[in-house]
Structure 1
Amino acid sequence: MIIRLRGTIIEKQPPKVLLEIHGVGYEVYMPITCFGSLPEIGQEAVILTHYISREGVHLLFGFIHKQEQMLFRELIKVHGVGPKLALAILSEMSVKKFITAVKHQEIDSLVILPGIGKKIAKRLMIEMKDKFNDSFDDSHPLQHLEDSRLSAGLKRNLKTDSENEALAISALVSLGYKPQDAKRLIGKVISTSVSTNFELLIRNALRATL
Protein backbone atom coordinates (compact mmCIF):
# COMPACT_ATOMS: atom_id res chain seq x y z
CA MET A 1 0.00 0.00 0.00
CA ILE A 2 1.22 3.51 -0.85
CA ILE A 3 0.86 5.59 2.33
CA ARG A 4 3.33 8.43 1.81
CA LEU A 5 4.91 10.25 -1.14
CA ARG A 6 7.77 12.75 -1.33
CA GLY A 7 8.35 14.51 -4.61
CA THR A 8 8.22 17.70 -6.67
CA ILE A 9 4.90 19.39 -7.35
CA ILE A 10 4.47 19.64 -11.11
CA GLU A 11 0.87 20.75 -11.30
CA LYS A 12 -1.93 21.87 -8.98
CA GLN A 13 -5.47 21.69 -10.33
CA PRO A 14 -7.80 21.18 -7.34
CA PRO A 15 -8.77 18.60 -6.37
CA LYS A 16 -5.74 17.00 -8.12
CA VAL A 17 -2.01 17.39 -7.56
CA LEU A 18 0.64 15.97 -9.88
CA LEU A 19 3.71 14.86 -7.95
CA GLU A 20 6.88 13.76 -9.75
CA ILE A 21 9.09 11.18 -8.03
CA HIS A 22 12.21 9.91 -9.82
CA GLY A 23 10.69 10.71 -13.21
CA VAL A 24 7.31 9.13 -12.45
CA GLY A 25 4.22 11.31 -12.12
CA TYR A 26 1.65 10.49 -9.45
CA GLU A 27 -1.85 12.01 -9.66
CA VAL A 28 -3.19 12.57 -6.16
CA TYR A 29 -6.68 13.72 -5.18
CA MET A 30 -6.70 15.97 -2.11
CA PRO A 31 -9.30 17.85 -0.05
CA ILE A 32 -9.70 21.38 -1.37
CA THR A 33 -8.66 22.78 2.01
CA CYS A 34 -5.24 21.14 1.75
CA PHE A 35 -4.19 23.20 -1.25
CA GLY A 36 -3.57 26.34 0.78
CA SER A 37 -0.83 24.48 2.68
CA LEU A 38 0.96 22.98 -0.31
CA PRO A 39 4.29 24.42 -1.51
CA GLU A 40 4.52 26.18 -4.85
CA ILE A 41 4.92 24.35 -8.16
CA GLY A 42 8.51 23.17 -8.54
CA GLN A 43 9.01 22.73 -4.81
CA GLU A 44 9.17 19.49 -2.83
CA ALA A 45 6.20 18.24 -0.85
CA VAL A 46 5.48 15.25 1.35
CA ILE A 47 1.92 13.95 1.15
CA LEU A 48 0.27 11.23 3.21
CA THR A 49 -1.78 8.99 0.93
CA HIS A 50 -4.42 6.30 0.76
CA TYR A 51 -4.38 4.00 -2.28
CA ILE A 52 -7.60 2.53 -3.67
CA SER A 53 -7.84 -0.03 -6.47
CA ARG A 54 -11.30 -1.03 -7.62
CA GLU A 55 -12.39 -2.73 -10.85
CA GLY A 56 -9.19 -1.78 -12.64
CA VAL A 57 -9.28 1.84 -11.47
CA HIS A 58 -6.30 2.96 -9.38
CA LEU A 59 -6.63 6.14 -7.32
CA LEU A 60 -4.43 7.94 -4.82
CA PHE A 61 -5.92 10.28 -2.21
CA GLY A 62 -3.63 12.64 -0.34
CA PHE A 63 -3.58 14.58 2.91
CA ILE A 64 -1.42 17.07 4.76
CA HIS A 65 -2.11 15.83 8.29
CA LYS A 66 -2.30 12.35 9.78
CA GLN A 67 -5.75 13.05 11.24
CA GLU A 68 -7.16 13.78 7.77
CA GLN A 69 -5.82 10.49 6.47
CA MET A 70 -7.25 8.61 9.45
CA LEU A 71 -10.69 10.20 9.15
CA PHE A 72 -10.80 9.49 5.41
CA ARG A 73 -10.13 5.82 6.11
CA GLU A 74 -12.93 5.69 8.68
CA LEU A 75 -15.37 7.53 6.41
CA ILE A 76 -15.01 5.12 3.48
CA LYS A 77 -15.85 2.22 5.81
CA VAL A 78 -19.35 3.65 6.24
CA HIS A 79 -21.89 2.15 3.86
CA GLY A 80 -22.86 4.70 1.22
CA VAL A 81 -19.75 6.84 1.66
CA GLY A 82 -17.28 6.38 -1.18
CA PRO A 83 -13.86 8.02 -1.51
CA LYS A 84 -15.18 10.98 -3.50
CA LEU A 85 -17.83 11.78 -0.89
CA ALA A 86 -15.26 11.35 1.89
CA LEU A 87 -13.00 13.79 0.06
CA ALA A 88 -15.89 16.26 -0.29
CA ILE A 89 -16.56 16.05 3.45
CA LEU A 90 -12.92 16.81 4.26
CA SER A 91 -12.98 19.65 1.72
CA GLU A 92 -15.79 21.35 3.60
CA MET A 93 -15.23 20.45 7.26
CA SER A 94 -12.10 20.16 9.40
CA VAL A 95 -11.43 16.95 11.32
CA LYS A 96 -12.10 18.73 14.60
CA LYS A 97 -15.46 20.11 13.44
CA PHE A 98 -16.53 16.76 12.03
CA ILE A 99 -15.72 14.98 15.29
CA THR A 100 -17.58 17.62 17.27
CA ALA A 101 -20.64 17.28 15.03
CA VAL A 102 -20.68 13.48 15.43
CA LYS A 103 -20.07 13.49 19.17
CA HIS A 104 -22.80 16.05 19.80
CA GLN A 105 -25.14 14.52 17.22
CA GLU A 106 -25.32 17.79 15.26
CA ILE A 107 -26.99 16.27 12.22
CA ASP A 108 -27.76 19.66 10.66
CA SER A 109 -24.02 20.35 10.41
CA LEU A 110 -23.63 17.28 8.18
CA VAL A 111 -26.77 17.61 6.09
CA ILE A 112 -25.56 20.95 4.66
CA LEU A 113 -22.47 19.24 3.24
CA PRO A 114 -22.54 18.46 -0.52
CA GLY A 115 -23.79 14.93 -1.24
CA ILE A 116 -25.02 14.19 2.28
CA GLY A 117 -28.72 13.72 2.97
CA LYS A 118 -30.37 12.86 6.26
CA LYS A 119 -30.01 9.12 5.65
CA ILE A 120 -26.23 9.28 5.21
CA ALA A 121 -25.88 11.84 8.02
CA LYS A 122 -27.70 9.56 10.47
CA ARG A 123 -25.58 6.62 9.40
CA LEU A 124 -22.41 8.64 10.00
CA MET A 125 -23.66 9.61 13.46
CA ILE A 126 -24.40 6.01 14.41
CA GLU A 127 -21.39 4.25 12.88
CA MET A 128 -18.74 6.81 13.78
CA LYS A 129 -19.67 7.94 17.27
CA ASP A 130 -17.28 5.45 18.91
CA LYS A 131 -14.48 5.71 16.35
CA PHE A 132 -12.64 8.71 17.73
CA ASN A 133 -9.85 8.57 20.28
CA ASP A 134 -6.83 10.68 21.31
CA SER A 135 -5.11 10.11 17.96
CA PHE A 136 -7.71 12.38 16.36
CA ASP A 137 -6.98 15.21 18.81
CA ASP A 138 -5.23 18.20 17.20
CA SER A 139 -3.09 18.52 20.32
CA HIS A 140 -1.90 14.92 20.10
CA PRO A 141 1.89 14.50 19.59
CA LEU A 142 1.17 12.73 16.29
CA GLN A 143 0.01 16.02 14.87
CA HIS A 144 3.20 17.86 15.78
CA LEU A 145 5.34 14.99 14.53
CA GLU A 146 3.64 14.95 11.14
CA ASP A 147 3.72 18.74 10.92
CA SER A 148 7.49 18.75 11.29
CA ARG A 149 7.99 15.89 8.86
CA LEU A 150 5.56 17.04 6.20
CA SER A 151 6.10 20.73 6.05
CA ALA A 152 9.85 21.42 5.82
CA GLY A 153 8.93 25.03 6.00
CA LEU A 154 5.45 24.48 4.54
CA LYS A 155 3.63 26.69 7.02
CA ARG A 156 5.93 29.60 6.24
CA ASN A 157 4.82 29.42 2.62
CA LEU A 158 2.30 32.28 2.64
CA LYS A 159 0.49 33.03 -0.60
CA THR A 160 -0.56 36.43 -1.87
CA ASP A 161 -4.21 37.45 -2.06
CA SER A 162 -4.25 37.12 -5.85
CA GLU A 163 -2.75 33.62 -5.69
CA ASN A 164 -5.36 32.51 -3.16
CA GLU A 165 -8.13 33.99 -5.29
CA ALA A 166 -6.91 32.24 -8.46
CA LEU A 167 -6.51 28.92 -6.63
CA ALA A 168 -10.00 29.20 -5.16
CA ILE A 169 -11.53 29.89 -8.57
CA SER A 170 -9.66 26.92 -10.05
CA ALA A 171 -10.97 24.70 -7.23
CA LEU A 172 -14.59 25.66 -7.94
CA VAL A 173 -14.13 25.04 -11.67
CA SER A 174 -12.80 21.56 -10.89
CA LEU A 175 -15.96 20.92 -8.89
CA GLY A 176 -18.10 21.65 -11.94
CA TYR A 177 -18.74 25.39 -11.80
CA LYS A 178 -18.41 27.46 -14.95
CA PRO A 179 -15.35 29.78 -14.85
CA GLN A 180 -17.49 32.92 -14.86
CA ASP A 181 -19.69 31.59 -12.04
CA ALA A 182 -16.65 30.54 -10.00
CA LYS A 183 -15.09 33.98 -10.46
CA ARG A 184 -18.36 35.66 -9.44
CA LEU A 185 -18.74 33.51 -6.31
CA ILE A 186 -15.17 34.08 -5.15
CA GLY A 187 -15.45 37.80 -5.90
CA LYS A 188 -18.60 38.00 -3.81
CA VAL A 189 -16.96 36.15 -0.93
CA ILE A 190 -13.86 38.37 -1.04
CA SER A 191 -15.99 41.53 -0.92
CA THR A 192 -17.61 40.39 2.33
CA SER A 193 -14.58 38.74 3.94
CA VAL A 194 -11.82 40.18 6.09
CA SER A 195 -9.46 37.42 4.95
CA THR A 196 -8.48 35.94 1.57
CA ASN A 197 -7.30 32.72 3.19
CA PHE A 198 -7.71 30.00 0.55
CA GLU A 199 -9.60 27.59 2.79
CA LEU A 200 -12.03 30.26 4.00
CA LEU A 201 -12.69 31.44 0.46
CA ILE A 202 -13.65 27.95 -0.69
CA ARG A 203 -15.78 27.18 2.36
CA ASN A 204 -17.64 30.49 2.21
CA ALA A 205 -18.19 30.18 -1.55
CA LEU A 206 -19.63 26.66 -1.20
CA ARG A 207 -21.90 27.74 1.65
CA ALA A 208 -23.14 30.68 -0.43
CA THR A 209 -24.47 28.23 -3.02
CA LEU A 210 -26.58 26.29 -0.51
Structure 2
Amino acid sequence: DAIHLIGFADAVEKSWYLLLSGVQGVGTKVALAILSVLSPAELSMAIASGDSKTITRAPGVGPKLAVRIATELKGKAGGMVSAAGTDTPSGEVVQGGNDTVSDAVSALVNLGYARMDAAMAVAKAFKKRGESAQVGDLIRDALKEFAP
Protein backbone atom coordinates (compact mmCIF):
# COMPACT_ATOMS: atom_id res chain seq x y z
CA ASP A 1 0.00 0.00 0.00
CA ALA A 2 2.57 2.54 -1.10
CA ILE A 3 1.86 5.90 -2.63
CA HIS A 4 4.02 6.84 -5.62
CA LEU A 5 4.44 10.34 -6.97
CA ILE A 6 4.80 10.47 -10.75
CA GLY A 7 5.93 13.61 -12.58
CA PHE A 8 5.89 14.48 -16.25
CA ALA A 9 7.92 16.88 -18.38
CA ASP A 10 4.80 18.33 -19.99
CA ALA A 11 1.06 17.84 -20.46
CA VAL A 12 1.56 15.79 -23.64
CA GLU A 13 3.65 13.22 -21.78
CA LYS A 14 0.98 13.02 -19.08
CA SER A 15 -1.74 12.50 -21.70
CA TRP A 16 0.25 9.64 -23.23
CA TYR A 17 0.73 8.11 -19.80
CA LEU A 18 -3.03 8.19 -19.18
CA LEU A 19 -3.72 6.65 -22.60
CA LEU A 20 -1.11 3.93 -22.10
CA SER A 21 -2.26 3.04 -18.60
CA GLY A 22 -5.79 2.57 -19.96
CA VAL A 23 -4.66 -0.37 -22.10
CA GLN A 24 -5.23 -3.81 -20.58
CA GLY A 25 -1.91 -5.24 -19.40
CA VAL A 26 -0.22 -1.85 -19.12
CA GLY A 27 0.30 -0.62 -15.59
CA THR A 28 2.21 2.29 -14.15
CA LYS A 29 5.58 0.57 -14.47
CA VAL A 30 5.14 -0.41 -18.14
CA ALA A 31 3.63 2.96 -19.14
CA LEU A 32 6.58 4.78 -17.58
CA ALA A 33 9.02 2.35 -19.22
CA ILE A 34 7.51 3.09 -22.63
CA LEU A 35 7.67 6.85 -22.07
CA SER A 36 11.26 6.61 -20.86
CA VAL A 37 12.32 4.84 -24.07
CA LEU A 38 10.08 6.61 -26.61
CA SER A 39 9.30 10.30 -26.81
CA PRO A 40 5.63 11.23 -27.30
CA ALA A 41 6.51 12.04 -30.92
CA GLU A 42 8.05 8.61 -31.55
CA LEU A 43 5.16 6.92 -29.76
CA SER A 44 2.56 8.76 -31.82
CA MET A 45 4.36 7.85 -35.05
CA ALA A 46 4.62 4.20 -33.98
CA ILE A 47 0.93 4.01 -33.11
CA ALA A 48 -0.23 5.93 -36.19
CA SER A 49 1.74 3.61 -38.46
CA GLY A 50 1.00 0.43 -36.47
CA ASP A 51 4.70 -0.12 -35.78
CA SER A 52 4.56 -2.43 -32.76
CA LYS A 53 8.26 -3.32 -33.11
CA THR A 54 9.23 0.18 -31.98
CA ILE A 55 7.07 -0.17 -28.88
CA THR A 56 8.80 -3.44 -27.93
CA ARG A 57 12.01 -1.47 -27.30
CA ALA A 58 10.61 -0.63 -23.86
CA PRO A 59 11.49 -3.09 -21.09
CA GLY A 60 8.53 -5.24 -20.08
CA VAL A 61 6.77 -4.88 -23.44
CA GLY A 62 6.64 -8.03 -25.53
CA PRO A 63 5.33 -8.42 -29.08
CA LYS A 64 1.77 -9.28 -28.03
CA LEU A 65 1.45 -6.33 -25.66
CA ALA A 66 2.99 -3.99 -28.25
CA VAL A 67 0.40 -5.07 -30.83
CA ARG A 68 -2.37 -4.57 -28.26
CA ILE A 69 -1.10 -1.08 -27.44
CA ALA A 70 -0.84 -0.12 -31.12
CA THR A 71 -4.32 -1.39 -31.99
CA GLU A 72 -6.15 -0.10 -28.92
CA LEU A 73 -4.59 3.34 -29.04
CA LYS A 74 -4.81 3.82 -32.81
CA GLY A 75 -8.38 5.07 -32.51
CA LYS A 76 -7.94 6.92 -29.22
CA ALA A 77 -4.61 8.51 -30.05
CA GLY A 78 -5.81 9.42 -33.54
CA GLY A 79 -7.97 12.18 -32.10
CA MET A 80 -5.07 13.48 -30.07
CA VAL A 81 -2.72 13.35 -33.06
CA SER A 82 -5.13 15.05 -35.47
CA ALA A 83 -6.01 17.75 -32.93
CA ALA A 84 -2.44 18.60 -32.04
CA GLY A 85 -0.69 17.54 -35.22
CA THR A 86 1.90 14.82 -35.57
CA ASP A 87 5.08 15.86 -33.83
CA THR A 88 8.12 14.38 -35.50
CA PRO A 89 11.40 13.63 -33.70
CA SER A 90 12.98 16.69 -35.30
CA GLY A 91 10.44 18.86 -33.49
CA GLU A 92 8.43 19.73 -36.59
CA VAL A 93 4.67 19.50 -36.31
CA VAL A 94 2.66 18.15 -39.22
CA GLN A 95 -0.92 19.43 -39.02
CA GLY A 96 -3.80 17.58 -40.65
CA GLY A 97 -3.42 15.34 -43.68
CA ASN A 98 -2.53 12.42 -41.44
CA ASP A 99 -3.65 9.82 -43.98
CA THR A 100 -1.51 11.41 -46.66
CA VAL A 101 1.48 11.68 -44.34
CA SER A 102 1.02 8.12 -43.03
CA ASP A 103 0.75 6.75 -46.56
CA ALA A 104 3.92 8.55 -47.64
CA VAL A 105 5.85 7.32 -44.58
CA SER A 106 4.58 3.78 -45.15
CA ALA A 107 5.68 3.87 -48.79
CA LEU A 108 9.19 4.98 -47.82
CA VAL A 109 9.41 2.27 -45.16
CA ASN A 110 8.38 -0.28 -47.79
CA LEU A 111 11.25 1.01 -49.93
CA GLY A 112 13.65 0.15 -47.10
CA TYR A 113 14.10 3.46 -45.27
CA ALA A 114 14.02 3.57 -41.47
CA ARG A 115 10.64 4.67 -40.12
CA MET A 116 12.01 7.64 -38.17
CA ASP A 117 14.09 8.86 -41.14
CA ALA A 118 11.07 8.51 -43.40
CA ALA A 119 8.87 10.41 -40.93
CA MET A 120 11.33 13.29 -40.73
CA ALA A 121 11.75 13.50 -44.51
CA VAL A 122 7.97 13.42 -45.07
CA ALA A 123 7.49 16.09 -42.39
CA LYS A 124 9.92 18.38 -44.24
CA ALA A 125 8.15 17.67 -47.52
CA PHE A 126 4.73 18.31 -45.97
CA LYS A 127 5.94 21.57 -44.45
CA LYS A 128 7.21 22.64 -47.89
CA ARG A 129 4.09 21.54 -49.82
CA GLY A 130 1.38 22.46 -47.33
CA GLU A 131 -2.10 21.03 -46.72
CA SER A 132 -2.79 20.34 -50.41
CA ALA A 133 0.14 17.92 -50.69
CA GLN A 134 -0.51 14.64 -52.49
CA VAL A 135 1.09 11.35 -51.46
CA GLY A 136 3.20 11.17 -54.63
CA ASP A 137 4.53 14.69 -54.13
CA LEU A 138 5.45 13.95 -50.52
CA ILE A 139 7.26 10.74 -51.49
CA ARG A 140 9.14 12.48 -54.31
CA ASP A 141 10.23 15.37 -52.06
CA ALA A 142 11.14 13.00 -49.22
CA LEU A 143 13.31 10.93 -51.57
CA LYS A 144 15.13 14.14 -52.53
CA GLU A 145 15.93 14.60 -48.82
CA PHE A 146 17.72 11.23 -48.86
CA ALA A 147 19.76 12.05 -51.98
CA PRO A 148 23.41 13.07 -51.35
Contact 2:44/2:86 (<8 A) preserved? no
2:29 partner letter: K
Q: Is 1:101 the equivalent of 2:66?
A: no
Q: Distance in 2 between matches of 1:126 and 1:90?
A: 18
SS in 2 for 1:63: coil
Q: CA deviation at 1:102?
A: 0.8
Aligned-residue CA RMSD (Å): 1.9
Within-5 A mapping of 1:43-54: none
Q: Is 1:121 the equivalent of 2:35?
A: no
1:41-84 CA-to-partner distances (Å, cap 9, x unmatched) read xxxxxxxxxxxxxxx32111101111000000111111111111
TM-score computed with the length of structure 2 as normaliser: 0.53
From 74, 84, 93, the equivalent of 2:29 is 84
The structure whose residues are more often strand, as a share, is 1
Structure with bigger RCO (C-alpha 8 Å, 6+ apart): 1
Q: CA deviation at 1:116?
A: 0.7
Q: Is 1:72 the equivalent of 2:17?
A: yes
* Structure 1 unpaired stretches of 5+: 1-55, 141-210
Q: Distance in 1 between matches of 2:16 and 2:32?
A: 10
1:129 partner letter: K
1:84-134 CA-to-partner distances (Å, cap 9, x unmatched) read 111111111000100100110112111222111011001101110012222
From 51, 75, 79, the equivalent of 1:130 is 75
TM-score computed with the length of structure 1 as normaliser: 0.38
From 1, 4, 8, the equivalent of 1:63 is 8
Q: Distance in 1 between matches of 2:85 and 2:31?
A: 16
The structure whose residues are more often helix, as a share, is 2
Q: Distance in 2 between matches of 1:130 and 1:103?
A: 9
Residues 136 and 91 of structure 1: is their aligned pair in 2 closer, same or farther, counting only changes over 3 Å?
Answer: farther
Q: Distance in 1 between matches of 2:24 and 2:85?
A: 22
Residues 76 and 136 of structure 1: is their aligned pair in 2 closer, same or farther, counting only changes over 3 Å?
Answer: farther
* Structure 2 unpaired stretches of 5+: 88-92, 95-148
Residues 62 and 137 of structure 1: is their aligned pair in 2 closer, same or farther, counting only changes over 3 Å?
Answer: farther
Which is higher, the Rg of structure 1 or of structure 2? 1
